[in-house]
Copies of this chain bind each other. A is one copy, B any other.
Amino acid sequence: MELSGKKMDQEVFQRQREEVLAQWSTGKEVNFEEAVAYHKALPKSKVMAAKLAEGKAKGITYTQPRAGVALLQEHIELLRYLQDEGGADFLPTTIDSYTRQNRYNEAQAGIEESRTIGRSMLNGFPAVNHGVTACRRLMESVQVPVQVRHGTPDARLLAEVTLAGGFTDFEGGSISYNIPYSKDVPIATTIKHWQYVDRLVGLYEENGVKINREPFGPLTGTLVPPSISHAVAVIEGVLAVAQGVQSLSLGYGQCGNLVQDVAALQTLPVLAEEYLHKLGLSDVMITTVFHQWMGGFPQDEAKAYGVISWGAATAALGKATKVIVKTPHEALGIPTKEANAAGLRTTKQVLNMLKDQTFPQTEELALEKKVILAETRAILDKVLELGEGDMALGTVRAFQAGVIDVPFAPSRFNAGKILPARDTTGAVRLLDFGNLPFDEETKSFHQERIAKRGRDEGRDPSFQMVIDDIYAIGKGMLVGRPRP
């Protein structure tokens, strides 16, 4: 099959489908028509797209945790706890790392070992192994919409099982669940695999079932400049809508500087709409997702609460539709349900206190927005140019050329040439542009800002600055200043 951003051929899809459903025994449980009926019978309060639409209209910022354990009963208890004690507006099901690599045998071993020793040996819920019926048991045990969150390059079977299982939202995308999550998977491969997922969602939509799709915004979570993650979000959005997706949540991971983060949240839907329109794609519902700081956290719980709260405040002032919540255990390990609910409640307190306050439109904000818009457009226009108008083709070529480049990504299909560093106000800028297609004006803006920091710190910008920035929040700072 040749790569293109066009809608998948129905026959091709059906042929693949048989293979996909045969990858693990639970594939046999999937029956599309029956699944459509199941979804249609779900109360509106459990349908993600419906609740997101309501929130968007009312200007609400919803909360969602991350959570998943090996066994069904424990997973249900965990989610109910987060709903009841954490007040989570949306629930997740975080998938374990073996399932993410399609290693269902190892996931099975993890399930069995967890049963034997009585604690979860997996870092998430192995939904494929548990199968459709188990997923539905989960849906029926909670009151709010549930989303699949993972990091799976090839998530076709996972999507089949979980969507048939009643999940109404599916995270991920061909770039965002490849580049940060694998080493050896070509982008063309994940684009195809995710076109399958999006086409599946499109089929549900065509049958009157609303499924929300959410590209994973933060990528590697570590000093990713907004224009890079925005470019990826827009591409994945465009590719998804081409397959029939109707409801998109676009994500962005907090960088830490308020003005830059608010600017990022405000520009993200603008850019998505612009490129959807440009490519002649139909109108879809776009909402925004803000991730509290995704990089290294402080080990101390009190400090972690500070980081969490600052993320909540930024989400509220940036008017994100949803905020993904961290926990006071972040630096140390998968959180207990108590720690997870605590992170939610801290977040909610701040959101509530700020929900009626707005961040004023100022010159500084206008400048940040201008920069983000210009940079993202530069990348996206180059992608389209390289792809001769085709986003899928352009994406593969853009990664080859380093036109899109994600910092600290493990994938060998990512150029890995750019180096981000904070400026003196904590905004994430670029120290090395690699092959990003930025014009001279943009480049000198970054250079000046970083040079200013260098002067403030009395040192030349270098890789040491980047390392210091990686550690900074974990050590109680935002900007990684040299130790005095």
Residues of A within 8 A of B (CB): 256-259, 298, 300-303, 305-310, 312-313, 341-350, 352-358, 360, 362-365, 424-426, 473, 476-479
Choose among A306, A313, A426 the residue with the greatest number of B CB atoms under 10 Å from its CB: A306
Which residue of the partner chain B has the closest CB to A316? B310
Tell me, in angstroms, the Cα distance from A470 to B205 when the chains sit together. 47
Tell me, in angstroms, the Cα distance from A88 to B72 when the chains sit together. 46
Tell me, in angstroms, the Cα distance from A346 to B346 when the chains sit together. 12
- Nearest first, the 6 A-B pairs at minimum CB distance are A309-B309, A306-B349, A302-B342, A305-B305, A302-B345, A360-B362
Residues A360 and B364 in contact in the complex (CB < 8 Å), given A302-B345, A342-B302: yes
| A480: min CB distance to chain B, Å | 11
With beta carbons under 8 angstroms apart, the residue of B298, B344, B353, B477 that contacts A473 is B353
List B contacts of A348 (CB < 8 A): 303, 306, 476
With beta carbons under 8 angstroms apart, the residue of B305, B306, B360, B365 that contacts A302 is B305
List B contacts of A342 (CB < 8 A): 301-302
With beta carbons under 8 angstroms apart, the residue of B355, B358, B425 that contacts A356 is B425
Name 26 A/B residue pairs within 8 A (Cβ), A-sorted. Answer: A256-B353, A258-B357, A300-B345, A301-B342, A302-B342, A302-B346, A303-B348, A303-B349, A305-B305, A305-B306, A305-B308, A305-B346, A305-B349, A306-B312, A307-B349, A309-B313, A309-B346, A310-B353, A313-B313, A348-B476, A349-B476, A353-B478, A356-B425, A357-B426, A360-B363, A362-B362
| Residue contact A350 to B426, C-beta cutoff 8 Å | no
With beta carbons under 8 angstroms apart, the residue of B309, B312, B357 that contacts A259 is B357
| Residue contact B357 to A306, C-beta cutoff 8 Å | no
Which residue of the partner chain B has the closest CB to A344? B302
| Residue contact A350 to B302, C-beta cutoff 8 Å | no
Tell me, in angstroms, the Cα distance from A426 to B353 when the chains sit together. 8
| Residue contact B306 to A343, C-beta cutoff 8 Å | no
Residues A357 and B305 in contact in the complex (CB < 8 Å), given A310-B313, A349-B476, A352-B477: no
Tell me, in angstroms, the Cα distance from A350 to B310 when the chains sit together. 7
With beta carbons under 8 angstroms apart, the residue of B303, B312, B356, B362 that contacts A426 is B356
Tell me, in angstroms, the Cα distance from A271 to B394 when the chains sit together. 60
Tell me, in angstroms, the Cα distance from A298 to B301 when the chains sit together. 19
With beta carbons under 8 angstroms apart, the residue of B307, B350, B424, B425 that contacts A306 is B350
| A458: min CB distance to chain B, Å | 15
| Residue contact B356 to A479, C-beta cutoff 8 Å | yes
| Residue contact B354 to A310, C-beta cutoff 8 Å | yes
| A150: min CB distance to chain B, Å | 27
Which residue of the partner chain B has the closest CB to A362? B360
List B contacts of A306 (CB < 8 A): 305, 309, 312, 345-350, 353
List B contacts of A350 (CB < 8 A): 306, 309-310
List B contacts of A363 (CB < 8 A): 360
Which residue of the partner chain B has the closest CB to A355? B478
List B contacts of A473 (CB < 8 A): 353
Tell me, in angstroms, the Cα distance from A303 to B364 when the chains sit together. 32
Which residue of the partner chain B has the closest CB to A423? B356
Tell me, in angstroms, the Cα distance from A473 to B302 when the chains sit together. 20
Choose among A342, A350, A355 the residue with the greatest number of B CB atoms under 10 Å from its CB: A350
| Residue contact A352 to B312, C-beta cutoff 8 Å | no
Tell me, in angstroms, the Cα distance from A305 to B303 when the chains sit together. 10
Which residue of the partner chain B has the closest CB to A349? B306
| Residue contact A356 to B476, C-beta cutoff 8 Å | no
List B contacts of A313 (CB < 8 A): 309-310, 313
| Residue contact A302 to B356, C-beta cutoff 8 Å | no
Choose among A298, A303, A305 the residue with the greatest number of B CB atoms under 10 Å from its CB: A305
| A157: min CB distance to chain B, Å | 37
Which residue of the partner chain B has the closest CB to A361? B362
Tell me, in angstroms, the Cα distance from A350 to B357 when the chains sit together. 19
Tell me, in angstroms, the Cα distance from A302 to B342 when the chains sit together. 5
Choose among A312, A345, A358 the residue with the greatest number of B CB atoms under 10 Å from its CB: A345
With beta carbons under 8 angstroms apart, the residue of B298, B354, B426 that contacts A349 is B298
